[in-house]
Structure 1
């Protein structure tokens, strides 16, 4: 494994921590700045909105720049954002720090995925992306408990100082280990089809998004994320109100889900390198079945533990393959990778909204699981259509 992938994974870990740790620190932050819980919640929702905007805007703005330089600049932005949060004298500066840190999120994972796949041969490109995303999945497991533990012992500012330090380490690793020109042109050992020369101008990148396969993949990404996170957003209520777990149990159950994300990410990357479209369809079918089974068996504590793990496995198994697929059909355009991150965040928002509507309609706390299954089923259909069209096009060439 190239050591540069470890540097990228460390950057992903730091960015993931920034996203997740705030959930365990909100009460302390709200108390420090004397703001309401709703205002403190903007430190989460404002971050998510900024991720969606930054993934497109920053990727487009840096289209002509060397990708290593862009990654270095993004991590510098990440460090500045967390430093602002650590030293924030008031709520407004804290929110600004969250927004600044979030702006780099989508572009880092989008451009980083292109650099990661350029570091290995074409037969390992999805696995390389999975290694980079491993940092994010591990952060999902450790983020909330890390923030809560550090915040309880040394105060919430210490958690942001720690993440700032991780960012500095990631920055040093990227500067030292990522080769100059990585992801700019295909390796001599890689065919043009698997690693096309990336379009550099913004106009060319936008033109690369005209492919129907790109939009089908983006739609499948948004729907798969929407179905999973629409259900996951209300999973604590499902555990306590249906499964009979205590509120104290929710933390370790979420860690089980996080471990599933790590496993699914690594398995999905390997499977996508073997037969990508087949692996994507199977992952989405598995996610649909898991959501349905969870909805039917949520009253069983044992089944809930197993199924929340599988929710993580199948939920993230499609991520590496979706990213390499959308960038392949967009001829390696960084804007496509950024759009994939934006699509996932849009899906998250729509899924959570749909799940909330189901609960508000009085359908119970298992309803988001069935709603999520329905959304992912649409993703299965979209992905199956995309795979069929791609196979037919390949046969006619």
Structure 2
């Protein structure tokens, strides 16, 4: 696997650490800006909003200008570092909010561009494994980046955590400028050719499956803390360790899925969804048991968001793996994330109890499984050649 792939993974680690680390420094930010915890929470939402809306628009603009992937990624990282620097320096909540939106826009486009570069530098049959390494940066951000950022906040201050992300982003930009080759194409793919890919109905089906998988996972994960403390009976001091187990399971699951995602794309997703449904139902029924709860948290960590490499491999084989296709995929994943969190919270607020997010996750996982059924009847659908041909039929 080329060194470039690992550099891209470190880049995603830097960007997604910034996305999630606000959750670990809520008291510090609330005190610094004299705002409520709800307003601090909106800083995460604004980042996601920038990713969903602004990322595809910015990518479309770069394609219109026919900027090569390497140059585009370097410019996007510069934009990200500038916006993150403003966030690290400001005393204004309004400016912080705008900076978070800007970083979300740049991050979404960065992820799409990084996956496109990843597709260029490895063989077709290795794209899923390479994507697992790049997206492994996201898993590592949850398991390692956020705890480190929280410790820095508690000992040095929240601004130091923000500046650390700026430094990591700059380091990644230098490495990319040295190690990432220019596009293999004689000329970059234009916007019109990228937009033509969205006429492919199978691409939208792949997007829908990704949204359901991520929605199912985050419907549950977002409410692990109240479930584990108020239903299972764990102390609040045990939560970091339990979430740490979940994060380690993410890393392990991502490595395993990445190994098999290329040759067994659909089988990986079907097996993963069946295990996810089993884990969510078992967690719902056995949440009062500490042992069962720990086992189900680990199992959800192993098979939830870790299906990302298979999801990416499917998209890359269903349509030309261009920057806009990958950026919209990243946006759809964030839409699924937001949908799962909202529906899980809606279940609690409407009186169905703290376990309702687990049942919401189960429903979304079942929908994800149903979205795959039309493709399972196609013999040999796991092979790269058959998937590529299938995508071109639409």
TM-score normalised to structure 1 length: 0.92
Give 5+ residue unaligned stretches, structure 2: none
**Deviation of 1:389 (Å):** 5.2
Counterpart of 1:56 in structure 2 is: 56
Match of 1:37 in 2: 37
Deviation by residue 1:189-223 (Cα, 9 ceiling, x = unmatched): xxxxxxxxx98222221211111210110000111
- Cα deviation per residue 1:227-271 (whole Å; 9 max; x = unaligned)? 110111111111011111111211121111111211121111111
Alignment match of 1:66 (pick from 58, 65, 68): 68
Distance 1:256 1:109 in 2: 26
Give deviations 1:319-364, integer Å, cap 9, x for gaps. 1121121132222232211111111111111111211222223222
1:289 aligns with 2:291: no
CA distance in 1, matches of 2:86, 2:167: 13
CA-atom RMSD, angstroms?
2.0
**How many Å apart are 1:146 and its aligned residue?**
1.7
Q: Does 1:28 align with 2:34?
A: no
Q: Distance in 1 between matches of 2:349 and 2:100?
A: 30
CA distance in 2, matches of 1:284, 1:207: 31
Find out whether 1:245 has 2:234 as its counterpart. Answer: yes
In 2, Cα distance between equivalents of 1:74 and 1:130: 22
Worse overlay, 92-101 or 209-218:
92-101
Give the structure 2 partner of residue 354 of structure 1.
343
* 1:272 aligned residue: 261
SS in 2 for 1:256: helix
- Partner of 2:375 in structure 1? 386
Q: In the alignment, is the contact (CA less than 8 A) between 1:199 and 1:331 conserved in 2?
A: no
Q: 1:151-204: CA deviations, max 9, x gaps? A: 11111111111111111111111111111115x47xxxxxxxxxxxx9822222
Segment drifting more, 120-129 vs 88-97: 88-97
Kept after mapping to 1: 8 A contact 2:13/2:145: no
Q: Distance in 2 between matches of 1:324 and 1:56?
A: 20
Whole-angstrom distance in 2 between the partners of 1:35 and 1:367: 30
In the alignment, which residue of structure 1 is the partner of 2:100?
98
Give CA-to-partner distance per residue, 1:45-72, whole Å, 9 cap, x none: 1111111113311221112221111111
Task: Evaluate the alpha carbon distance shift between residue 330 and residue 122 of structure 1 in structure 2; reply closer, same or farther with a 3 A threshold.
Answer: closer
Inter-CA distance 20–83: structure 2 relative to 1 (3 Å threshold): same
Residue 25 and residue 317 in structure 1: after superposition, are their counterparts in 2 closer, same or farther (change >3 A)? closer
2:279, 2:247 → 1: CA distance?
A: 16
1:208 to 183, 194, 197: 197
Q: Is 1:375 equivalent to 2:377 in the alignment?
A: no
5+ unaligned residues in a row in structure 1: which ranges? 186-197
Partner of 1:62: helix, strand, or coil?
helix
Aligned positions of 1:1-397 closer than 5 A: 1-63=1-63, 64-181=66-183, 184=185, 200-388=189-377, 394=386
Count of residue pairs the alignment pairs up: 384
Residues 11 and 75 of structure 1 are in contact (CA less than 8 Å); yes or no, is this contact kept in structure 2? no
User: So what's the TM-score if we normalise by structure 2?
Assistant: 0.92
Partner of 1:190: none
